[in-house]
Amino acid sequence: MSRSDLRWPQWTAVALIAVLVFIWPVPRTISLRDLLLLLLLCWGGYEVYRHRAQPLPWRALRMPLGFFLALTAWILVVALLLSTEPTWALGEIKGQWLKACIALVVGGLVGATTFNNDFMRRLILMVVGAMLLLHVLYVDYEGLRLILANLNMRRIAGLTEGSDKSNYLTNMLLCLLLAEALVRMITRCRFLPLSNSALAAMAVVAFFSVYVEGMRNGIVELVSVFGVGFLLVAMFTSRRRRAIMVSAMLVLVSVSLTLGYLSLRKDERWQSVLETVPIALDVENPAWINEGLPQPELESGQKVDWSNYMRIARMRAGVELVREYPLGVGFGRNAFGHAVEMKYGLRTSHSHSGLVDLAVGTGIPGTLLWLGFLGSLFVLGWRRFRQTHDYYALVLLLLVTGYSVRMVLDSIIRDHMLQMFLFLAAFLAVIVAGQLRGGQRETPVPPA
């Protein structure tokens, strides 16, 4: 199907997706996000119903869908039967998990509407990438402005609430670009209508954004994603071309490590991490709960860096809380804070680790179901990519890898970050599952 075959409802849907992706991370846009999700839900549901003669690939999706439905049911069980604060837990489910479920359904419906419509699925990914690029360009503009004005470089947040949120978008864009680069390395064809020069320029823009955002955890995520890319190139390129391709991937990994080193140089927090670890593991000292409490000291006599100390200590405390509440205290953004108050009588918020927050809130069963969901998405992408080196399968692989690493280090199983991930993961998973079912292979765009 070509550009001329799309009619106004499809163009309208693409425009709604573009606006949604752009405003998703922008503060004070919740009502608009919800409205756009509702409109896309209605459009996608109608389109799937209208083409109901073409069945959905339920068989290929049974594992991720089964894990997600089981997790949703368990979250409700914990809230209704196990939580000591059911009203709070149910409120969080309504405000957080329900919206995440809707985002997942919308992504799946949008993916289903692109069956036999290669142009539209490419267009949607291009639009998603373009909206992410706009955010990245604004971050770069802010960074360049500070550099040229000889002002102290701070971590740039762009249009989002914090540099961690903007870095989440930057790394998502890099996943899209890396997938395209890997497909070109392995198949010598391109799936997105971008020249090599345009692809390289976008990568440079994104890497500069990573630098000015200065997020340590973002560097760890990038190295993990590029590491997976390195393995794929080593596995799927011919022996004659492998040395060149592996060298190219090593360059990308080196760029990520260099950004990490530069971040270390300009971020004093790195310098005391190792000394802080044994101090932070002593969670009996409640100083990690609130910065206002007397803080431990390093050997130099200086106070511990709050970020280093608090993150490590809260991860350690999270393990203890899961041992005490193995079935969870109730799903919520601040489930960790509620469990801390129950044990220590002091208030705090989240743990700064999405996985710890989820484990404390939903217990060991919920954590295993969530990991099963992510693992089944990874396997789905792997099966398809191993067969045909498909672009959408590779994006799914890299997206799940990056999110899985980042959720251990940052609290991202919440708010727009969870919604964006589930929307894109469902969109890609439905496309990949449909191709597995039908044995289809994407038609690559020949080299320019």
pLDDT digits (tens, 9 = 90+) for 286-305: 778 887 778 887 777 778 87
CB 132 within 8 A of CB 172: yes
Written as one string, the DSSP assignment of 291-336 is: TTSPPPB-TTSPBPPHHHHHHHHHHHHHHHHHHH-TT-S--STTHH
Confidence bin at 321 (pLDDT 50/70/90): very high
Lowest mean pLDDT among 30-39, 279-288, 364-373, 420-429: 279-288
pLDDT digits (tens, 9 = 90+) for 144-202: 888 887 766 667 888 998 888 999 999 999 999 999 988 888 888 888 888 889 998 99
Residue whose C-alpha is closest to residue 188's, from 235, 241, 147: 241
Distance from the first to the final alpha carbon of the chain: 21
DSSP class of residue 93 equals I
Range picked from 48-52, 80-84, 115-119, 268-272 for highest mean pLDDT: 80-84
Instruction: Return d(Cα 35, Cα 24) in angstroms, integer.
Output: 12
Confidence bin at 219 (pLDDT 50/70/90): confident
Confidence bin at 41 (pLDDT 50/70/90): very high
Instruction: Return d(Cα 385, Cα 399) in angstroms, integer.
Output: 14
As a whole-number percent, the residues of the chain with pLDDT over 90 amount to: 49
426: which residues sit within 8 A by CB, 6+ positions away? 103, 104, 105, 106, 107, 108, 111
Instruction: Return d(Cα 55, Cα 158) in angstroms, integer.
Output: 42
| 3 state SS for 184-229 | HHHHCCECCCCCHHHHHHHHHHHHHHHHHHCCHHHHHHHHHHHHHH
